[in-house]
Amino acid sequence: MIIPALTQLYDRLSQDPEVMEKGDLPTMGKSRQKISFRIILKPDGTLVSMDDIRAIDKPLGKKVAKPHSIPILVLGANKSSGSGLNPCFLWDNCGYLLGYKGVTEEKEKKRIREAFSSFRDKHLAVESSVNHPHFSAVCRFLEQWDPDLTPSLLPSPDLWISNGIFRITGEMHDVHEIPEIQKWWFHRGAEEWQGSKKEKAQGICLVSGKEEPLALLHEPAIKGIPGAQVSGAKIVSFNCASFTSYGKEQSLNAPVGENTAFSYCNALNYLLSHSQYNTRLGDTTVVFWADAPRETMDMEAFLFGSVTADKPLPPAVDRTTLDKISKITNLLRKGELSKSKLDDADVPFFILGISPNASRLFIRFWNQSTFGKLMENIQAHYRDISLARQWTEENSKHPDPELPKPYDILKETVRDAKEIPSLYSGVLMKSILSRLPYPDIIAQAIIRRCRIDKKINYIRCSFLKGWLYRKTNNHDLTTMQTINPDNHNIGYLLGRLFAIYVKTQEDALGHNLNRTIRDSYFSSMSAHPRSVLPTINKLYQHHLRLIKQNHGEGAKINREKLVQEIKSHMPDIPPAHLGLEQQAYFDLGFYHQMNDFFTSKDKEAS
C-alpha cells in the first residue's frame, strides 16, 4: 500500500509543470546530488577557474551562517556503495574528479589516484560516442590535469570531500545539462557507461502488474531521515543469503519494476526535502500528503500544526491557508468539526512514520484514509483526552495547551525527550489516527514517571483519562473534565483522599518543607495503599490540629467533612494493591482534587 501510494504521488508530481521546471523531481536516468564546486573550462579544455558555488543562508539570531552544498540534477543515479571503482558521468567527488582529498596516507593516496584514473579513462572511452565539443573539452582537461594543483585552486578543505561539476566558460548551462549530451545519455549512453553487465531480469512487477525489467536495488536511496546514513537508506533491501528464495537474490525476492522503484524512492525524497510535508515525532520522521493538487496544501499544513510538536508552520504556508487552518483548529478545539465543514473531506490522505536503522528504515506506522475521516479521528482523540487545565492564560504565563500534541504526551513518558523509545511514537500515532485504544505501554510509562517524580500534571492525566475511557468504555469518563464526587471508584477516591492530605499539610506547615507527605508516600499510596494509609491518617490528624490553630475551627470542620464524605464510599479495609487501571484513576483523582482546591480559591477571590 505504501509503495503504490508513493508511485501515484510521483506520477502526479511529474505532471506538475512548476515542480518539473524547478527540477525538484528527478526523472529516470537522473538524480539530485549536493554540489559544492564548479570547474570552468575553455572550449579547448584549458582550466579557467574552480568556483565555490555553495550557498549561505541568512543567519538566525546569533548563529554563524555556514555555507552548504546546493542540490543539482545530474545524469546517473546515486553513487553506489562498495569497494570497487565507480566513477560518475560528468560529476563526482573531488577524489574522482581531481584526484585529491587532502593529506592522506600513501595507501589512501594511491587509491585516490586510481579513482581519478578510472574517472578519466571512463570519459575518454565514450568521447567518440558522445561526439560533442564541450564533452571533448572535459576530456582534454582530464588528460592534462595534475592532482597536486588542487589545493591551490580549491583552498577550502571542505571542498576536498565534496562533489563538483563542469561548465564551459561563457555558457549558461553545465556540461551535463547540454541537450545533445542528455539525449545521448538517455538513448544509449547510460547502458554504454555502465559497461557489460548481466542481462536485466524480467518479471511481473508486484505494484504495476506489468512485465518489465526488475530492480535489483531500489534506487535512489532515501535521504533526509535524521539518524540514518547520510548517503541514504532503504525501505526495501535484501543482503543476506537467508533471504534468498528459489534462487532469487536481492530485491528479486519481491519483484518491483525499475520504474516503480525509481518513482516511489524519488517521491519520498521529494516529501522529505520539503518541510511542509514532514515533521519529527521523537526519532520518527512523519511524512504526510494528500492525493490532490499542490494548491490544497492547507491539508498538509493543518496536520503539521495539529498533531506535531509545537513549532512554526513552514514558510510556504500563506495567509489564506493560515486563516483556514485557524478556523479548522477552532472547530476542533470546540469539538464541532464535521465533514460538512471541510472543503476537502473526501480527498485521500496518507501518513507515514519512518525511523532510522543505519542503512535501513523502519516503518513505524502507516495510515491511509480520507481527510475528513482523519479529522474525525483526531477530533475524537482530543475529545477523549479533554480535561480541565491546571494552568490557564488567567493564572500562568505558560498555560497548558488546550490541544496536547502527541509529542507533548511522549515527553511525559521519560525523564529527557532524547530518551523516548522508538516504539512509542508509532503505537501512539496508530491509536490516534485509527481511533484505537491507547497503548498500555505508554500509560505504564506515564504512571511510572508519576511515581518517580511525583508530578501529576495536566498532560499526563489527560492521556490517562483517555486511556481509561478507550480501555473500559466507561462513558462517565467523557464528562470528567473536573472533579466528579459521584465517582466511587476506589482508585479515584484514594487519589482524592491523598490530595486532601497533601493540601492539609501545605495549609498547616507551608510549602517550604524538606520532605512532604507527597514526597514520602505518593508511590506507596498509589500502588499499595493498605501499607501506608494508617501512617498517613495519623499525620493528617496532626496537621488538622495545626489548621485549627492557624485558620480557625471552620477550616478544620470543612476539611474533615470532605475527608469523611470520601471515606463513606470506601471499604473499611483499603485494598492491598492497586492495578494499573486503579493507579490511573488514583492519579486522575489526585489531579482533580488538587485542581478543585485552587479553582475554589479563585472563585472565592473573585
> What is the average per-residue pLDDT within 231-260?
81
Chain-centroid distance, C-alpha 584: 29
Q: Are residues 452 and 530 in the same domain?
A: no
Which of 418, 447, 479 lies at the terminal end of a domain, its last residue?
479
Q: Are residues 165 and 104 in the same domain?
A: yes
Q: Which of 162, 143, 46, 55 is nearest to 102 (CA)?
A: 162
The three-class DSSP label of residue 448 is helix
Q: Are residues 463 and 569 in the same domain?
A: no
Q: Among the listed ranges 113-117, 174-178, 340-344, 599-603, which one has the minimum average pLDDT value?
A: 599-603
Q: Among the listed ranges 21-35, 201-215, 307-321, which one has the minimum average pLDDT value?
A: 307-321
The three-class DSSP label of residue 179 is helix
Report yes or no on 17 lying in a domain: no
* 92 beta partners: 164
Report yes or no on 407 lying in a domain: yes
> What is the average per-residue pLDDT within 288-304?
67
Q: Are residues 475 and 506 in the same domain?
A: no
pLDDT tens-digit series, residues 32-69? 888 999 999 999 999 999 999 998 876 655 566 788 88
What pLDDT does 427 receive? 94
155: CB partners within 8 A, 6+ apart: none
What pLDDT does 309 receive? 43
> What is the average per-residue pLDDT within 250-260?
85
Cα–Cα distances (Å) from 317 to 276, 305, 474, in that order, read: 8, 11, 41
> What is the average per-residue pLDDT within 524-537?
94
* Residue that has been written with the C-alpha cell 479495609 in this structure: 573
Report yes or no on 535 lying in a domain: yes
What pLDDT does 411 receive? 93
Report yes or no on 163 lying in a domain: yes
pLDDT tens-digit series, residues 551-583? 888 889 999 999 999 999 999 899 999 999 999
pLDDT above 90: residue 90? yes
Report yes or no on 367 lying in a domain: no
Q: Are residues 409 and 450 in the same domain?
A: yes
Q: Are residues 409 and 496 in the same domain?
A: no
Q: Are residues 436 and 518 in the same domain?
A: no
Higher pLDDT: 81 or 103? It is 103
Report yes or no on 268 lying in a domain: no
Which of 196, 214, 242 lies at the terminal end of a domain, its last residue?
196
Q: Strands 47-52 and 202-204, how do they pair? A: unpaired
Peptide bond into 220 cis (omega under 30): yes
pLDDT above 90: residue 449? yes
In angstroms, the CA 97 to CA 106 distance is: 19
Confidence band, pLDDT 50/70/90 cuts, at residue 603: very low
Which of 431, 451, 479 lies at the terminal end of a domain, its last residue?
479
What pLDDT does 36 receive? 93
What pLDDT does 298 receive? 57
> In 3-state terms, the chain is what percent helix, strand and coil (to 5)?
50, 15, 35
Higher pLDDT: 213 or 487? It is 487
Q: Are residues 391 and 522 in the same domain?
A: no
Report yes or no on 299 lying in a domain: no
Higher pLDDT: 341 or 370? It is 370
In angstroms, the CA 319 to CA 331 distance is: 19
Q: In which element (H, E) is residue 547 found?
A: helix 529-551
Cα–Cα distances (Å) from 541 to 522, 572, 574, in that order, read: 18, 18, 18
Grid coordinates given for 195:
559497461
Q: Are residues 174 and 46 in the same domain?
A: yes
| Structural domain containing residue 148 | 24-196
Number of domains, the chain: 3
What pLDDT does 523 receive? 95
300: CB partners within 8 A, 6+ apart: 276, 277, 288, 289, 290
* Residue that has been written with the C-alpha cell 519529527 in this structure: 280
Residue 51 has φ and ψ, to the nearest 5°, of -100, 135
The three-class DSSP label of residue 568 is coil
Q: Are residues 474 and 562 in the same domain?
A: no
Q: Are residues 443 and 464 in the same domain?
A: yes
In angstroms, the CA 273 to CA 277 distance is: 8
Report yes or no on 453 lying in a domain: yes
pLDDT tens-digit series, residues 382-399? 899 999 998 888 888 888
Grid coordinates given for 70:
546546493
Q: Are residues 96 and 192 in the same domain?
A: yes
